[in-house]
Amino acid sequence: MKRGLIGRFLIRWLVCSLGLWIAAGILGSIDYGNSTGVVVIAGLVLAIINITIKPIIIILSLPAILLTLGLFTIVVNGVTVMLASYFYDSFEVTNFWAALFAGIVIGVVNYLVTTILEDKRT
């Protein structure tokens, strides 16, 4: 059964929120005030950024992505986490390295969730 647009967005929102929560637990430089609501809203902001702004950033940084064989997408993920922190003041990322590692954690969580969901479809 195919998921609709809303279903895919809700899964992306869940994955972003879960990834941010795990990254905040691992890294000490991400502050969300120990509030689940802040992480959920920050996940929503990050999901919206990933849908709207991230494709533009990917297109603009395509030469760097090609030269690094795709590794520059880790930097793009860090930039999106920093943008989420910028747009939502209650979620604070102190430096770019923390955002970079949070982007890696979110990417791993996204990969795991996608793998689990695709296995259940077959």
Residue 25, token pair as written in the block: 């637990």
The residue extents of the domains of the chain are 5-121
- At 83-104, the pLDDT tens digits run 999 999 999 999 999 999 999 9
- Predicted confidence band of residue 80 (pLDDT cuts 50, 70, 90): very high
* CB-based contact 26:105 (threshold 8 Å): yes
